[in-house]
Amino acid sequence: MNIQVLGSGCSKCRELEARTKKALQSAGVAGEVEHVTDFVEIAKLRVLVTPALAINGEVKVAGKVPSEAELVGILTTAAATE
């Protein structure tokens, strides 16, 4: 599973990255988290508000940092559809 945290590297972006990594462990889902800071790449995914989370090229969250429990649900659902 390709997981991307999209954002400039601000504190909220780093928080989303950390929570996503914890959620991956909690959910027992395999995947690698990549932090994308290049705004051209972020724009290709049509993200206007960061931080954002994309899984396999599909934006799942934008403009907020979900709780770890919410992230576990998002990751589990995404893993089930692979």
Token digits of residue 68:
């770890």
* Cβ atoms of 63 and 52 closer than 8 Å: yes
> What is the phi/psi pair of residue 61, to 5°?
-145, 140
Distance CA 52, CA 14 (A): 11
Q: Which residues pair with residue 35 across a beta bridge?
A: 5
Which numeric CATH code is attached to 2-80?
3.40.30.10
Q: Is the dihedral of CA 71, 72, 77, 78 positive or negative?
A: positive
Domain ranges of the chain: 2-80
Which pLDDT value is given to residue 7? 95
Query: What pTM was computed for the model?
Result: 0.91
Q: pLDDT tens-digit profile of 15-68?
A: 999 999 999 999 998 889 999 999 999 999 999 999 999 999 999 999 999 999
Q: How many residues are present in the chain? A: 82
